[in-house]
Amino acid sequence: MAAPMWGGRSEAPRRRGSGRYARGTWGRGAGWLGFALVLGSVFALVSCSASAPRAEDAAAAKDAETVVDVETATVRRGAIDHWLSAPGALEARRESRIGPEVQGTILHVHVDEGDRVEAGALLFEIDPEPFRLALRQAVAGLDLAHAERLQVEADLARAQLLRSEGILSAQQIERLETAAVVARARERHALDAAALARHHLAQTQVRAPYAGGVAARLADEGTTALVQPQTIVLVLQETSVLEARAAIPEGQLLLVHRGDPARIRIEGLATVIDGEVSAVSESIDPATRTYGVRIRVPNPEGALKAGVFAQVDIRPRSLGDVVLVPRDAIDSEGGASRLLVVRDGVVTSERVKLGVVSERDAQLLAGPPVGAVIVVGASAGDVAPGMRVRARKREEPGA
């Protein structure tokens, strides 16, 4: 049957056209659906990626939860023995700058620098001839005064005899008695003058006041030696016993006492010299804020020389019942001392004030209380403040 006609046109072509349009529309609809599905997948992947933690964050979180095993000890009370060390030098126990006691020309110097002499040994001589002449004059004056005294005393004896016979007056006797007193005084003066002249003659020979070594020779024969100002001819040092002298900081004022054991180390000498503190200064040097100590060092063979550098170690008396920590727990940085303290499994850094420090322990003047747990040994270098740790107690000798 023929298709109906609408407006003179056949309906069949319109339906065909409608069929093609319908197919085209479905094809485009299928494409948009696929794109929507792909876009949804991308959004889902991005969302999953955004919600998943990054590998770096996960590693950091894992590290933050890491617990480190550390070796620990506790702050405790106890006694501490220690050595104080201070630089020093060997010095002569006595040193004398020797010059003449009488003025004159140096006739002979009997010693030279480096010589060792015994007590009383002749060191140098002043020309004695002027002093011999002075002694002879003094002796002559003494003889004259002695004769005058004898004459006056004889005159007085005769006068007193005549006075008893009434021949001389009392005034004449008084004058003779006064003359006798003056004569006796002149004789004593002459006697002292002769003794002084004899002493001056003896002083022309200058002798060693003690056994020692000649450290320096400063004048030679022919020099006119003066008394004021004194001409120094020789420097003598007592070297059979030297002294090691060192300066101790005033912060350790109450630690060192006379009799404390000491060790002296001499550069170039293999052996250590044992001794004890022989003297402690009574005052503080205001310039260095230190006080001096001295240790006697026997030197019978003269092998040691005054002026040589010495390292002085002194062992003061033990300090009892003080707060102690192991020395290897102390960390010093920028002039400050610190301890790593463990509290509730977490490391914290605490600044401390130290007192006496020995080879094994350190005295704590300010810091964590007794019983506090601290990191010691190599573990102190493996952890930092804020880290979580697992404490493993180290047994301390004497704890």
pLDDT confidence of residue 73: 86
350 phi/psi in degrees, rounded to 5: -130, 130
Classify strands 241-249 and 224-225 as parallel, antiparallel or unpaired.
unpaired
**HSE value, Cβ hemisphere, 13 Å, CA-based, for 115:** 15
pLDDT confidence of residue 353: 86
Contact (CB, 8 A) for 394 and 376: yes
Nearest to 71 by CA among 281, 282, 383, 321: 383
pLDDT of 313 > 70? The answer is yes
Choose between 57 and 350: higher pLDDT. Answer: 350
Torsion angle defined by CA atoms of residues 56, 58, 59 and 62, in that order, rounded to the nearest 10 degrees: 160
What's the whole-number mean pLDDT along residues 291-317?
Answer: 87
Give Cα 332 to chain centroid, integer Å. 20
Could you give the C-alpha distances from 163 to 4, 153, 180, in angstroms and in order?
213, 15, 17
pLDDT of 114 > 50? The answer is yes
pLDDT of 145 > 60? The answer is yes
State how far the Cα of 216 lies from the Cα of 238, in Å rounded to an integer. Answer: 13
Residues 240, 246, 250, 253, CA torsion sign? negative
Choose between 23 and 215: higher pLDDT. Answer: 215
| pTM exceeds 0.75 | no
State how far the Cα of 74 lies from the Cα of 142, in Å rounded to an integer. Answer: 90
Nearest to 302 by CA among 239, 244, 235: 239
Q: Which residues contact 201 (CB under 8 A, 6 or more apart)?
A: 128, 131, 132, 134, 135
The runs of H, that is alpha helices, within 203-310 are: none
pLDDT confidence of residue 10: 37
With cut-offs at 50, 70 and 90, classify the pLDDT of residue 5.
very low
What's the whole-number mean pLDDT along residues 89-109?
Answer: 94
pLDDT confidence of residue 45: 42
Nearest to 358 by CA among 87, 86, 85: 85
Top mean pLDDT of 81-90, 138-147, 150-159, 372-381 is at 138-147
With cut-offs at 50, 70 and 90, classify the pLDDT of residue 335.
confident
Q: Hey, is 201 helix, strand or coil? A: helix
Contact (CB, 8 A) for 278 and 295: yes
User: Where is 248: in which H helix or E strand?
Assistant: strand 241-249
Choose between 384 and 39: higher pLDDT. Answer: 384
Nearest to 214 by CA among 115, 119, 305: 115
Find the radius of gyration of the CA atoms of the chain. 54
pLDDT confidence of residue 65: 59
Top mean pLDDT of 9-18, 163-172, 236-245, 383-392 is at 236-245
Given the structure tokens 């040691």, which residue do they identify? 304
Mean pLDDT over all residues of the chain? 81
pLDDT confidence of residue 2: 41
Q: What is the pLDDT of residues 288-300, one digit of tens each?
A: 898 889 999 988 8
pLDDT confidence of residue 46: 41
pLDDT confidence of residue 394: 79
